Chains A and B, each alone.
Chain A
């Protein structure tokens, strides 16, 4: 692990920017290309890069399996929950117009929540799939 200092320093330098870009894509999806799906994938790629350079064991410590599972289910829950909330507010399922006083504001809130849920689930799913595959490698044997 001590070797390849350029790779290690370069990765450490890049990861904050990757995470930042993912957040930009997540919250700027209303205005430009992007949204929860792409943001989740980019956010996951930062952790995958970390796992490739520093080893899967370190990456597991940064992102434990319990948190990944929690995020995985929480994302879908937020999405479906937004739909149920719209029902409870007197609208139809996933019709966000009832979420706020003005329909357009409600749509804005609804889309924000829904995209957030998508990003969360996609992030957790991508990292989980990669981590599970990577730890099948006999050289990185550890429990998931």
Chain B
């Protein structure tokens, strides 16, 4: 049953991605990419990764769509007709794509409990988190405590992004 849901959602995501490539109406493209994110969030729920799903739904489907719509008020609504697709470009994309797919064959099987990722630090976090850190939600204790440095870095990245947008786009008090 879960497999069927996985396949249906993944299929819808593929359709949405192809439609984004195909369509010239940028408003529809922005909406479709939001829907794509929401389907991704559903997939994360199926994988029991509710925290990731939450973030994907709030950021990918919510804020990112709003930002794209904000950008759309500044640019024309229709995508410009591009140059004719070149054969060299098609070859590069196909070659890179098949290389990446070939590389996935080396990865552990989907859901394999013996995969290296499940035997690195994860078992220790699962075992000791309640005694060492406390919160019942292990994701929180990993993000905020065990991996506090990473989260500090992420917060700084968001801070920097806002500073960058302000520096580039905001109309300052000083006139150029």
Please, which residues of chain B bring their CB within 8 A of the CB of A118? 151, 155
Assess whether B12 is interfacial by the CB under 8 Å rule: no
* Interface locus among B32-40, B97-105, B114-122, B139-147: B139-147
A34 touches B148 (CB 8 A): no
Number of A-B contacts (CB under 8 A): 142
Please, which residues of chain A bring their CB within 8 A of the CB of B74? 133, 136-137
Assess whether B58 is interfacial by the CB under 8 Å rule: yes
Docked Cα-Cα span, A63 to B159, in Å, equals 18
B169 touches A136 (CB 8 A): yes
B71 touches A133 (CB 8 A): yes
Number of interface residues of B (CB under 8 A): 47
- Most B CB within 10 A of own CB, among A25, A124, A125: A125
Docked Cα-Cα span, A96 to B67, in Å, equals 36
Assess whether A122 is interfacial by the CB under 8 Å rule: yes
A126 touches B63 (CB 8 A): yes
Q: When each residue 112-129 of chain A gets 1 if its CB lies under 8 Å from chain B and 0 otherwise, what string results?
A: 001101100110111011
Chain A positions 29-65 with a Cβ under 8 Å from a chain B Cβ: 29-35, 37-38, 41-42, 44-45, 48, 52
Residue of B nearest to A143 (CB): B171
Assess whether B11 is interfacial by the CB under 8 Å rule: no
Instruction: From the candidates A48, A103, A111, A124, name the one contacting B162 in the complex (CB within 8 A).
Output: A124
Assess whether A134 is interfacial by the CB under 8 Å rule: yes
Assess whether A72 is interfacial by the CB under 8 Å rule: yes
Instruction: From the candidates A72, A114, A137, name the one contacting B144 in the complex (CB within 8 A).
Output: A114
19 contacts between A and B (CB under 8 A): A31-B137, A33-B139, A38-B55, A41-B58, A41-B59, A45-B62, A52-B66, A75-B155, A76-B156, A76-B159, A96-B148, A107-B141, A111-B133, A111-B135, A129-B162, A130-B66, A134-B73, A135-B171, A136-B73
